[in-house]
């Protein structure tokens, strides 16, 4: 109850417009490590090669000191993001526009800005949504513009039905994925994401009440787009939007699904035994 009261009294407007600038290098070793994690051939990613879309998420990783990490593995509240005291924080979705591909080996800059902060009410109480805009560029110009939605909320009560929607059965593209703990651990390591729900099974089940390790939202989105790209290798991705509507766990396999909706668009979604947990739209040419 105290968390909800504190969250309600936070003045979110003071964070809107706040900015941050970070630099990084599209390191070949990191790109090859992600390729191996996704069961792709690392040797295809040499210096100067194009970085696949969404793989930028393994760069600009957080560098929070160990003493500044909370008991859940997340960085303690404060800093660039608002100090919302609702206990659960997760990546709810995003929208990306790809202007040109990033190249392995080049130095890049990311300018971030808090675009919106909103309070809403969900089935388990108060929600706070924070939208962060990122622009990644170099001397060659802008590569991509991304809006990232972060949600703060109360945990679901014990025994609650898993959130999600009814998955469509009319997929033209369908690939089964086994989200084993090794996959989740390696992706967390590459993104320097120390949130314990992705790799610490006792903590996840006993402290947060989940049935198993939670599949990272960015990982699920990356797997969806990688499956589409494998089926349509000649397509150039222009825009990608995704939204998490429910959780995925390492306790059950799920399908990566897709369906063309026009000459330059497709719908993508995850299907876990009929439950849709993530849906996405891709625009290409």
Question: Per-residue pLDDT averaged across 223-235, rounded?
Answer: 97
Question: Per-residue pLDDT averaged across 34-53, rounded?
Answer: 96
What pTM, to 2 d.p., does this model score?
0.91
Q: Is residue 171 within 8 Å of 271, Cβ to Cβ? A: yes
Least confident among 77-91, 94-108, 193-207 = 77-91
- Smallest CA-to-CA distance from 268 within 285, 233, 244 is with 244
Indicate left, alpha or beta for 73 from its phi (over 0: left) and psi (-120 to 50: alpha): left
Over 50: is that where the pLDDT of 50 sits?
A: yes
Which pLDDT score is estimated for 160?
65
CATH second-level architecture of 13-284?
A: Roll (3.10)
Handedness of CA 36, 223, 51, 182 (dihedral sign): negative
Could you tell me the end-to-end alpha-carbon distance of the chain, in angstroms, rounded to an integer?
50
Q: Is residue 244 within 8 Å of 149, Cβ to Cβ? A: no
Q: With bands split at pLDDT 50, 70 and 90, how would you rate the model's confidence at 6?
A: very low
Give the tokens for residue 188.
């967390």
Question: Per-residue pLDDT averaged across 191-204, rounded?
Answer: 94
What does pLDDT average to over the chain?
90
């Amino acid at each position: 109850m105290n968390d909800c009261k504190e969250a309600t009294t936070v003045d979110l407007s003071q964070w809107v417009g706040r900015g941050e600038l970070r630099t990084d290098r599209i390191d070949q070793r990191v790109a090859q490590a992600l390729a191996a994690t996704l069961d792709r051939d690392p040797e295809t990613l040499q210096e100067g090669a194009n970085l696949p879309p969404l793989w930028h998420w393994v760069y600009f990783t957080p560098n929070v000191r160990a003493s500044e990490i909370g008991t859940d593995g997340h960085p303690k509240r404060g800093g660039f993001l608002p100090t919302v005291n609702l206990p659960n924080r997760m990546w709810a979705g995003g929208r990306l526009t790809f202007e040109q591909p990033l190249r392995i080996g080049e130095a890049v800059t990311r300018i971030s800005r808090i675009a919106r902060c909103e309070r809403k009410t969900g089935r388990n109480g108060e929600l706070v949504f924070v939208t962060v805009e990122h622009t990644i560029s170099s001397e060659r110009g802008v590569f991509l513009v991304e809006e990232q939605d972060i949600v703060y909320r109360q945990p679901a009560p014990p025994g609650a039905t898993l959130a999600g929607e009814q998955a469509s059965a009319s997929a033209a593209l369908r690939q089964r994925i086994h989200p084993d703990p090794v996959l989740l651990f390696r992706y967390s390591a590459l993104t320097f994401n120390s949130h314990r729900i992705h790799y610490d099974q006792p903590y996840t089940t006993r402290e947060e009440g989940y049935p198993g390790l939670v599949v990272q939202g960015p990982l699920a989105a990356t797997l969806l787009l990688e499956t589409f790209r494998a089926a349509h290798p000649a397509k150039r991705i222009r825009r990608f939007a995704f939204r998490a509507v429910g959780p995925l766990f390492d306790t059950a396999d799920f399908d990566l699904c897709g369906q063309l909706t026009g000459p330059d668009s497709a719908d993508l979604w995850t299907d876990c035994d009929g439950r849709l947990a993530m849906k996405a739209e891709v625009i290409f040419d």
